[in-house]
Structure 1
């Protein structure tokens, strides 16, 4: 995909997303999406939870917190995220460099629709999530009135294979996640799900 090899595209996207008035206008015009929901979810993050944020982009959800691990495949995005955090990892979402059951929470905002195999990415995120931990994110979906624009961006190499909201639920269920909640705003679906089991105390965990 172009996000790793096209630094100008990545930079322009990040500038737009980081600018709140511009992102609000663009999200509504392009996707009929109220991006306020995303900002509220980010603001509600638990700073004590050991969190993996991938793709972190330029650091929209990042806080200067050593328990927030920001990861992305794009070196350009990581350079931009460096302004907000010291815990950065260049990583492939399909093959994360972390042991199984590492994180209390995994975040994947606005990234799944850029992937060729979103289902595989969700399975890998579930692998590194602790039992009892939470997976949370947002993704564009097909079947919500913006399919022609999605197809155009697929043709240009900016998007991978986004599914419908029903596909997203199936992918989460297949990853053996439970307590699934989907919330739709325009062509964007926010989701939360939990990995079954008992969560360990986040205070005793660390990422090397």
Structure 2
């Protein structure tokens, strides 16, 4: 993830697109052959959580998932990322939305949280950036309560030559890991101790929901 941690430009370009649904939809279709509405629909489900629920957003990026929270929802929301650039953008997003959020630096493969601490982990557009996403899933699982859920999405290989070439290019620039298939994604969850409730492929994007 060195490209994300050390440069402001990738963060700005990514946030500019993903924060605007009207722009993300054609961009997602063009680059990844995906329907980005699936991601935003999942994000909106955060608003259904009951008061007092504990949410871990990792890697939080620029705070995209915060748009799914509601005013006065009274969540314990922790946003973690290894990139200071992304954390600064998350803080700004929380301020704009007037949300109470704990923002902290953390490596998703070595999270500084106790076992069984969160009801929900959201992980959007992050696992494909990691060199060892399976280790990240195991660590996230450790931090979930029994019955807690992991939801999000990740880009995968195998959807088409164009998408695989794009994954390879992002990998060379240090923005992506080497790229995995949807079958490998499923194994991250099952080997990590999660039950897969949903694994839906839309172009090169795998949308997932899993329960500990």
TM over 0.5: yes
Give distance in 2, aligned partners of 1:44 and 1:181. 14
The match for 1:17 is 18
Shift of 1:66: 4.3
Q: What SS does the aligned partner of 2:171 have?
A: helix
* Residue pair 2:168, 2:178 contacting (<8 A) in 1 also: no
How many pairs does the alignment contain? 195
The Cα offsets for residues 146-167 of structure 1, whole Å up to 9 and x where unpaired, read as: 1111111111111113210000
* Residue pair 1:183, 1:191 contacting (<8 A) in 2 also: yes
Q: Output the TM-score relative to the length of structure 1.
A: 0.89
Summarize the alignment of residues 168-207 of structure 1 with structure 2, pairs less than 5 Å apart.
Answer: 168-195=185-212
Residue among 134, 146, 156 paired with 1:141: 156
Give distance in 2, aligned partners of 1:114 and 1:156. 11
Cα distance change on mapping 1:143 and 1:130 into 2, 3 Å: same
Shift of 1:181: 1.8
Structure 1 residue ranges, 4+ long, deviating more than 4 angstroms after superposition: none
Q: Output the TM-score relative to the length of structure 2.
A: 0.87
Greater helix proportion: 2
Q: What SS does the aligned partner of 1:51 have?
A: strand
Give distance in 1, aligned partners of 2:75 and 2:200. 30
Summarize the alignment of residues 97-136 of structure 1 with structure 2, pairs less than 5 Å apart.
Answer: 97-136=112-151
Question: How large is the RMSD of aligned CA atoms in angstroms?
Answer: 1.4
1:90 maps onto 2:108 in alignment: no
Q: Structure 2, unaligned stretches of length 5 or more?
A: none
Q: What SS does the aligned partner of 1:174 have?
A: helix
Shift of 1:191: 0.7
Give distance in 2, aligned partners of 1:150 and 1:179. 25
Q: Structure 1, unaligned stretches of length 5 or more?
A: 196-208
